[in-house]
Amino acid sequence: MLIRFRNSCDPAGSEITPESVYINRRRFLAGGAAAAAAMMSGLAVPAAAQGKAAPLPGDIGKSSLSTDEVQTPFDAVTRYNNFYEFGTDKEDPARYASQLKVRPWALTIDGLCGKPGTWDVDALIKANRLEERVYRLRCVEAWSMVIPWVGIPMADVLKQAEPLASAKYVAMQTLLDPAQMPGQRRSILEWPYVEGLRLDEALHPLTILCVGLYGQVLPNQNGAPIRLIIPWKYGFKSIKSIVRLTFLETMPPTTWNRSAPDEYGFYANVNPAVDHPRWSQKRERRIGEFFRRDSLPFNGYAEQVAGLYAGMDLVKWF
């Protein structure tokens, strides 16, 4: 038997480019070059690079909360995803998610609230203001994107259910349907996928329930028809294909925290000073770029959200 010992100069696992990215490197690099050229010319990524999907109904407001960084091309945003319900490879969601039936879709809000109920997603979209929020997405595997999400402020939706004074947290649940979601047929994680936020995090102006990107209906592989976006936290907190929101008094269990509590904390705020046990979080690779860049505390949103965690030990509460 040949036993190979790791040499000190060998790259860490987190430094190795995933095979799917390597195979598609020309596409990603070309997209990054196009986006950079667009930035220098003062233009957005051209519509021709965004693919074809159904447009969202009504007017979409532009949010002042957006970053002006170069946006990741649509092709990369919709082909390189974490969505374990469809498989663990980054390209599995684009490969298998088309079978997911996303209409009609009901969102139930219950728990400690005065007006629990079930809302049709299309009715929510029509009844609430839609805004485009160009947010950074930072994933725990040390890659990142800049995406023009379209969504509804989560506070607008939650307040309709009139949370009680005793409600301190919001628990969230993804659809459980192994017939449509082949990844759920395997015990990769404990299904259904669940997440949670403190209520003040959920009500923060940066937090949105996303229903689209690039002005189009949210693709299945990106979490259709409705998902969470919390830009200052690692991507696994932004739960996809949501079917239930529940107000609670105590901190709810979350999928990745249950699976590996020493690696995935409840808060999951982007913190370059706290490494993942198996790799550093100090630097990240923006999809479409060759070189790594420094990761920013709270993913660059510290000015807006650091006050939520005043007095907390962010190493202990990671």
pLDDT tens profile 233-271: 999 999 999 999 999 999 999 999 999 999 999 999 999
Which CATH code is given to the segment(s) 19-309? 3.90.420.10
Amino acid at site 91: E
pLDDT, one tens digit per residue, over 37-65 is 333 333 333 332 334 568 898 889 999 99
User: So where are the chain's domains?
Assistant: 19-309
Of 5 and 187, the one with more pLDDT: 187
135: confidence class by pLDDT, cuts 50, 70, 90: very high
Residue 141 CA to residue 4 CA, distance in Å, equals 25
Q: Indicate the pTM of the whole model.
A: 0.84
* Residue-wise pLDDT tens digits, 1-36: 433 334 433 444 434 444 444 344 444 344 444 333
- Whether 186 has a pLDDT exceeding 60, the answer reads yes
Looking at residue 22, what is its pLDDT?
38
